[in-house]
Amino acid sequence: MSSDRDAQDLLSRWQRGNVMAADCPSRPVLQHLTSRWGALVMVALATRRHRFAELRRAVGGVSERMLSQTLKELEADGMVLRTAHEVVPPHVDYELTPLGQEAARHLIPLIGWIEGNLGRIPSAGQGAASS
Amino acid sequence: MSSDRDAQDLLSRWQRGNVMAADCPSRPVLQHLTSRWGALVMVALATRRHRFAELRRAVGGVSERMLSQTLKELEADGMVLRTAHEVVPPHVDYELTPLGQEAARHLIPLIGWIEGNLGRIPSAGQGAASS
């Protein structure tokens, strides 16, 4: 299976680098993309650009503060582009950058797979059975 | 692009469910798979089965306690199978279950993409340039 080789390649690279465990710069990027709110924001923005208030409605339950912080992290990682429009009334919107679109293409299958297979995951079985 | 539709499907499902934000059982599963140690353990086990001590060497920098906790989480999620061999001396090994192998097939491309594109990620640029 080719994922064995992909895994082996990754592992060798990490072992060569030897910094992976402590301070590989990929770690925070992975965390931002896969955090509760980060993953939801990436999925919402993968459908289309959103204004802040729209995004807050799309990502049910997020506070203004957490949404703002999540967007700042994803913007700093180059995944999200924030555009302030100088119109009346002024507004700001958010969209995925080309880099963010690429990330989403790898993130969405993972999240989709977890969602679609919750019934097979023992620790999540109770919740999944009823939804 | 088909990932737009995949994203739209996920988002609609989450909005319908309405519990996603607060307590969707997919959240802890995603967190376990993408945590610092969880991701490393999944990649190491995707190459082959490991004994505990081998795994600790493969996943540089992990403490015995953190590795043990990570393995317990992944075992409870049905990703990892722990086998105790009744031989002399006794030993325990860990391998991916078929479910874990499927998860790894979705996880490895995401991690591989982040690793391979660190140079394009502004917040990680410094570290990536030198490695």
A121 close to B (CB below 8 A):
yes
Q: What is the nearest CA distance from B94 to chain A, expressed in angstroms?
A: 16
**Greater confidence, A14 or A102?**
A102
Q: Is the dihedral of CA B4, B9, B10, B16 positive or negative?
A: positive
**What b-and-e string marks burial along B32-47, b requiring 16 or more CB atoms within 10 Å of the CB?**
bbbbbbbbbbbbbbbb
Q: Say if residue A130's pLDDT is above 60.
A: no
What does the mean pLDDT of chain B come to?
A: 83
A53-110 pLDDT, tens digit each: 999 988 878 899 999 999 999 999 999 999 999 888 888 999 999 999 999 999 999 9
| Cut 0.90: pTM above it | no
Q: What is the nearest CA distance from B68 to chain A, expressed in angstroms?
A: 16
Structural domains in chain A? 21-115 (1.10.10.10)
Interface test with B, best of A8, A106, A130 (most B CBs within 10 A): A106
Is residue B84 a contact partner of residue B90, using CB atoms and an 8 Å limit?
Answer: yes
ipTM reported for the complex surpasses 0.90: no
Q: Which of residues 78-117 of A touch B (CB under 8 A)?
A: 78, 99, 101-115, 117
Of A119, A2, A69, the closest CA to residue B109 belongs to A2
Across the range B32-55, mean pLDDT stands at 91
CB contact under 8 A, A14 and B60: yes
Q: With beta carbons under 8 A apart, name residues in chain B contacting A60.
A: 14-15, 18, 20-21
Among all chains, which residue has been given the structure tokens 């709110």?
Answer: A37
pLDDT category, B17, cuts 50, 70, 90?
Answer: very low
